Structures are given as C-alpha cells and as structure tokens.
Copies of this chain bind each other. A is one copy, B any other.
Amino acid sequence: MCELFALNSNAPASAAFSFSGLSERGGRTGEHKDGWGMAFNDASGCRVFVDAGQACDAPLAEFLRRHPIPACTVLAHVRKATQGAVALANCHPFQRECFGRHWVFAHNGDLKDFRPRLDGSYLPVGGTDSELAFCWLLQQVRRAFPGGATPRWPRLAPVLARLLPALARHGVFNMLLSDGHALYAYGATRLVWLERQRPFGRARLLDGGLEIDFSATNHDTDRMALVATRPLTDNEPWKAFEPGDLRVFFEGRSVWRQATSDADDRRDEAALAAELQSAG
C-alpha cells in the first residue's frame, strides 16, 4: 500500500513541514520505500516531482523540505509497491491535461480485476492499477462534459461521486485528485482530514518529532485543509473520513461531502460497475 497527503489552501502555502513527517514514513518510520512524489498545482502552474528512491533520504526530497514551494494545492505520496515494478514511471502523483488544466492524482490501495475499456484519450505509461484508474476517471470526466468547457467543482463533484465507488468495488481505493482549483479526496477505507485557521497554534510531527509554530508562519486570513492516510501531527484534531466519503476542499475549506451509502447513488454505481465488468 502507500500513504497519501494533500494540502488545499486559500493562499499559496508551504507543505514542507507535513512532507517532512510523511517522508519519514518513506523508508525510516514506515515501509513505503518504493518511490515517492510531490505535486504543486494551482493557477500559477503545475510542478510534479517524482523519484524511485526513498523519500526519507532522497536528495530531491531533501531539496523540497529545504526549499518550500508555496502552492494552493499540494499532493504527496510515498509508495509501497503492490502492482507495477519499483520504477519512476510507477511513482505517484500521475499527471494529465484535461480541459486545458493539469490534473494530478495519487492513490492508496490495490484494485483487482480492473480492466476498463479505454478509448485512447488517456493511456497509462507505467504498469500500476493506480494510473489505469486515473486514465479511466479522466476519460469518464471528459465524456461527462463533452463541450470541453472546464467544470467547476460544484458540477464536477457529483460526477466524481458517481464514478469513484465503481473503482472502489475492485479493491482498496483511497485517492486524491486536483485540477489546481479544488482538491477531491475519496476515502474508501482510511483517510483523515484537518482544517487549520486562526488562531494558529503549535504542531508536532508524529514522525521525526519536528515542531512548528504556525502563528509565526501564517497570516490571520490564511486557511488550509489537510488530508492524509494517517494523522501527521500528535496534537491536532484530525477527523476520519466515513468509509466511502468523497470530500471536496476549496480555498482551504471542506465545501462538499457525499457518502457512498446515500441510497440514491446505488443505482448509478451498479450501472458503472456493470460497464467496468463488461470491459474485462
């Protein structure tokens, strides 16, 4: 499996503190030593850093901890390979362009018997179930908005809420997705989240023990939401996703939530599952 982290904020923010904790789990305090990656994606542009080494001691990871890149949305991933070799091409986050925006995607889990019908608009480069799921997801999103106009999150979220449970039927599927505007987080089995805003206090990493005083590094108007596989700090109120929750974060706030258990969604899910199975 793998571990996920994301930050979404209302102004460009550094994720270097959180990444310090996550990257300890990439080979030192955790077993996720089969590659790592970090994406910075907002209106200014998109930068994705991937590396097939260990996040805990890779020179590029050290560079990113020492030279924070402020961004409104940040995704990070440390990998423990389940499907696909230990290779650069299999490191998350994956990146594609859709509707004239860069999209980034990271996955924790393991999908079985997942052989979707791909029309060629997005094809995987590496050999992971994760990149395959991302390609299928963007293909379906593009089909859902055939005019090519960029959907904002209020239109996109219900579409994702219909698509994601079909993926989760194939195994463990926790994921992070962002088009540089909103952050979409789907927690089939385990994800936690947290909002930080004024009054900012102190926080201490569970891994590595680094401490920070957010009141010294943030403005009063700053607001951010964080998502992770497991809590990264030991003194903040991390909250668990309900199994099957899709949450949307925008400008540093949790703005939308839909649970798979909502009865109305079951019919659509079944149709999608049938489509996926027929592609096998």
Using Cβ atoms and an 8 Å threshold, which residues of chain B touch A59?
A: 63, 67
CB distance from A96 to the nearest CB of B (A): 6
Beta-carbon contact of A50 and B50 below 8 Å:
no
| Cα of A124 to Cα of B101 in the assembled complex, Å | 8
| Interface-facing stretch out of A84-92, A165-173, A215-223, A272-280 | A84-92
A-side interface residues toward B, CB under 8 Å?
A: 44-50, 52, 59-60, 63, 67, 87-91, 95-97, 99-102, 120-126, 142, 148
B99–A97 touching, CB < 8 Å = no
A100 touches B88 (CB 8 A): no
Copies in the complex: 2
Nearest B residue to A35, CB-CB:
B45
Residue from B44, B47, B48, B125 in contact with A87 in the complex, judged by beta carbons closer than 8 Å: B44
Task: Known A67-B59, A120-B148, A148-B120; judge A44-B97 contact (CB<8 A).
Answer: no
29 contacts between A and B (CB under 8 A): A44-B89, A45-B50, A45-B52, A45-B87, A45-B89, A45-B91, A45-B125, A45-B126, A46-B88, A46-B89, A46-B125, A47-B49, A47-B50, A47-B88, A48-B48, A49-B49, A59-B63, A59-B67, A60-B63, A95-B95, A96-B97, A97-B122, A97-B123, A97-B125, A99-B123, A102-B125, A120-B142, A120-B148, A121-B121
What's the Cα separation between A142 and B242 when bound, in Å? 42
Q: Is the CB of A100 within 8 A of B121?
A: no
- In the complex, A67→B125 CA distance in Å? 25
A67–B59 Cα distance when bound, in Å, is: 8
Give the distance to chain B from A162, nearest Cβ to Cβ, in Å.
22
Q: Tell me the minimal C-beta distance from A43 to chain B in angstroms.
A: 8
Do the beta carbons of A125 and B148 come within 8 Å of each other?
Answer: no
Which of A59, A67, A100 is most buried by chain B, counting CB atoms within 10 A of its CB?
Answer: A100
